[in-house]
Amino acid sequence: MPESNQVKWIGVRPTNPEEALPVKQSDPALLKSTVTQASNIREVYPKRKTGTTQVAASIYANNSVVTVYQVTAGKTLYLTLVVLSVRAEAAGFGDATVTNAANEEIYRFANFNALIGDGKGISMPFVPPLEIPGTWKIRITSSAVTLYVFCTVFGWEE
């Protein structure tokens, strides 16, 4: 049986006219000017801080270890996205890592074990950004001659 006492209704607004909220009509001229000014905006980006550098680097490896990006000494890379893919015409492995100044592995983003004919990919966004200190490197590895490892990184340095 439905509840007849409207005070006990949760999440329901009674439609009694005496409880109606007054609605003030907007000034049409103000609304039109706001829409007209905003119609030229396609995208909104936050203002970049002074002293920062946007980073977008892309490279591939083929039977080698390749540095995708090395962080500038005295700066920090704020890594926001890593995109990694592998195309295998030979069996092997491919990976993406972050190494410190002594070339010691600190992070491993992905490790693909591929068979002939494989194609794999992964996109890794970092929210909040991953902080990578100066002189550290983002590297990719391909273990076979026709094992292609592609990597793209995005972020900023400051």
Residue 62 lies in a domain: yes
Domain total for the chain? 1
With beta carbons less than 8 A apart as the criterion, state whether 63 and 145 touch.
Answer: yes
Whether cis (ω within 30° of 0) applies to the bond prior to 28 is no
Helix, strand, or coil (residue 116): coil
Residue 76 lies in a domain: yes
pTM beyond 0.75: no
Tell me: the pLDDT tens digits for 16-29? 555 555 556 666 65
CATH at residue 103: 2.60.120.220
Residue 97 lies in a domain: yes
Alpha carbon 144 to chain centroid, angstroms:
30
Beta bridge partners of 137: 70, 99
Residue 67 lies in a domain: yes
Residue 140 lies in a domain: yes
What range does the domain containing 150 cover?
Answer: 53-157
Tell me the CA distances in angstroms from 92 to 41, 97, 107, 158, one per residue in order.
48, 17, 21, 37
pLDDT, position 51: 81
- pLDDT surpassing 60 at residue 113: yes
Average pLDDT for 71-75:
96
Residue 7 lies in a domain: no
Residue 45 lies in a domain: no
- pLDDT surpassing 60 at residue 78: yes
Residue 25 lies in a domain: no
Beta bridge partners of 156: 54, 78
Tell me: the pLDDT tens digits for 30-63? 555 444 445 555 555 556 677 889 999 999 999 9
